[in-house]
Amino acid sequence: MSELLRVQIKELLDNSRRILLCAHRNPDGDTLGSMLALWHYLRRDHQVRMVCCDPVPEVYRFLAGWEEILSTQAASALLETYQLAVAVDASDLGRLGPGGEELLARAEKVVTIDHHAVGLSFGDPSWLDSTAAATGELIFSLLEGAITPQMAAALYTAIVTDCGSFRYANTTARTLAIASRLVEAGADPNKIATRVFETRTLASLRLLHQALSTLEVDQTGQLGWMELRDDMFEAVGASPNEGEGFVNYVRMISGVRLAILFHENGSKVRVSLRSQDLDVGKLASLFGGGGHMRAAGCELSQALPQAKSEVLTAARDFLQGTIK
Ligand SMILES: [Mn+2]
């Protein structure tokens, strides 16, 4: 199945002249690296446009071509039409953010390439492989044989970020084999790790300090949570994406099986869920969200105290096994 889709999508890419590539909102290394690798491949003999509703986080601004990524708004204003649109690392239309659906309507055909465990995808065809640690793995298999050093760096970044530097449960022999091939093709693991994992702004560390001061663990020791609020960002002058990955500090507490980050964002609360052994995708789906078994999220249109209380109640039931 996967092989058939790979061939079919490769043909569509090679035979379409005007192509739109879409990353998901709050872009991470996987969606950006996957999109950039496709862009480098296609730009040689196609008209190709990259779009993302949110700005590229500072840590990924070393990847060649990132400046070419337009906001959804800027791309819409061009009134272009496309023969093909490709959504990378996103199968749910909402993940493309405001204006995403309207932009896709300007394409004759829409395909999705993703590794999230979702029920239904908007793509036709939709290449969904939840055994892949990252969408970057799928893009690698599409472009294998044509990988330049710039594409290798983008795909290595995609993979190393989604598998937590090969530490997460999604890391497989295939993940490592592909990473090895990408290093052979010119990706520099030390340079990428330094940029992505070991370079932080002072504001982001001050933000972490503030967030950690809200850290709580319940009496069972199995449920941990933390808050990130709008006022914290203002207090330290951090940009909106600088709280990325903070949920992992909750996850690493010894004994915690379910880690939650409540990220207040205007009138909404974004909830990140992590676990070492539970299928948190199920918990996220109770609130209309989704993701992977060990990493998922949802968004609630409620004030922070209400959102917290609802999610924590469900989380306790989930841990006790009353929600399956
Ligand atoms: Mn991904």
Residue 94 has what DSSP assignment? G
CA of 90 to the centre of ligand 1 (A): 8
Residue by residue, pLDDT tens for the chain (324 residues) are 689 999 999 999 999 999 999 999 999 999 999 999 999 999 999 999 999 999 999 899 999 999 999 999 999 999 999 999 999 999 888 899 999 999 999 999 999 999 987 767 888 999 999 999 999 999 999 999 999 999 999 999 999 999 999 999 899 999 999 999 999 999 999 999 999 999 999 999 999 999 999 999 999 999 999 999 999 999 999 988 889 889 999 999 999 999 999 999 889 999 999 998 999 999 999 999 988 889 999 999 999 999 999 999 999 999 998 765
pLDDT for residue 323: 64
CA of 115 to the centre of ligand 1 (A): 6
CA of 134 to the centre of ligand 1 (A): 5
Q: For residue 54, which of 25, 87, 21 has the smallest C-alpha distance?
A: 25
Q: For residue 112, which of 124, 99, 96, 97 has the smallest C-alpha distance?
A: 124
128, containing H or E segment: strand 126-128
Geometric angle at alpha carbon 127, from 125 and 129, rounded to 5°: 160
8 Å CB contact between 95 and 120? no
pLDDT for residue 117: 75
* Angle between helix 29-42 and helix 135-143 axes, rounded to 10 deg: 20
pTM: 0.88
194, containing H or E segment: helix 189-197
CA of 241 to the centre of ligand 1 (A): 16
CA of 18 to the centre of ligand 1 (A): 25
CA of 255 to the centre of ligand 1 (A): 27
Give the 3-state secondary structure of residue 246: coil
pLDDT for residue 321: 86
Q: For residue 261, which of 219, 211, 302, 300 has the smallest C-alpha distance?
A: 211
What is the CATH code for 202-320? 3.10.310.30
- Give the separation between CA 84 and CA 271, rounded to whole angstroms: 33
- Give the separation between CA 132 and CA 178, rounded to whole angstroms: 11
CA of 311 to the centre of ligand 1 (A): 24
What is the CATH code for 2-197? 3.90.1640.10
In order of 62, 209, 314, the CA distances from 212 in angstroms are 29, 5, 23
Our CA dihedral for 158, 69, 128, 188, rounded to 10 degrees, sits at -20
8 Å CB contact between 118 and 282? no
- Residue ranges of alpha helices (H) inside 260-303 are 280-285
CA of 235 to the centre of ligand 1 (A): 31
CA of 132 to the centre of ligand 1 (A): 9
Q: Where are the domains of the chain?
A: 2-197, 202-320
Query: Which pair of structure tokens corresponds to residue 27?
Result: 């872009």
pLDDT for residue 53: 96
pLDDT for residue 145: 95
Which residues partner with 70 through β-bridges? 51
Geometric angle at alpha carbon 305, from 302 and 308, rounded to 5°: 85
pLDDT for residue 119: 67
